[in-house]
Structure 1
Amino acid sequence: MARGDLTDEQWALVEPHLPIAAVGPVPDLRKHFNAVMWRFRTGSPWRDLPTEFGPWQSAYDRFRIWATQGVFQSLMQAVIAEAAARGQTDLGLVSVDSATARAHHHSCRTWWTEARSCSPPPPRPQPPCAQSRLRCAGQRSWLTRLDAEAGNLRAALDEAVRRATTGQADEAVRLATALSWWWLLRGRLTEARRSLSTVLAATSDTAAPELALLHAAFVLLTGDHIEVSATAAEAVPDPVRRARALWLCAYGLFSVGEVTAGAKLNARALDLFRSAGEQWGTAAALGLRATLALVRGDLDGLGRDGLRSAQLFGELGDRWGQLQTVSPLAALAEIKGEYGEAARLQ
Structure 2
Amino acid sequence: MKPILCLVTPALASANNGNWQTARRWAHFLAEDYRVRLCSAWDGAPADVMLALHARRSAPSIHAFAQACPARPLVVALTGTDLYRDIAVDADAQRSLALAWRLIVLHELAPRDLPAAVRGKAVVCFQSTPARATLPKTDRHLRALMVGHLRDEKWPQTLWAAAARLHDRADILIDHIGAPLDPALGSAAQACAAAHPHYRWLGARPHGETLRRIRQAHVLVHTSRMEGGAHVVLEAVRRGTPVLASRIPGNVGMLGADYGGYFPPGDATALATLLQRARDEPAMLKALAVQCDERAPLFDPATERHTLRETLRQALEARP
TM-score range with shorter-chain normalisation? Answer: under 0.3
Q: TM-score scaled by structure 2?
A: 0.22
Pair member with larger Rg: 1
Name the structure where strand makes up a greater proportion of residues: 2
Name the structure where helix makes up a greater proportion of residues: 1
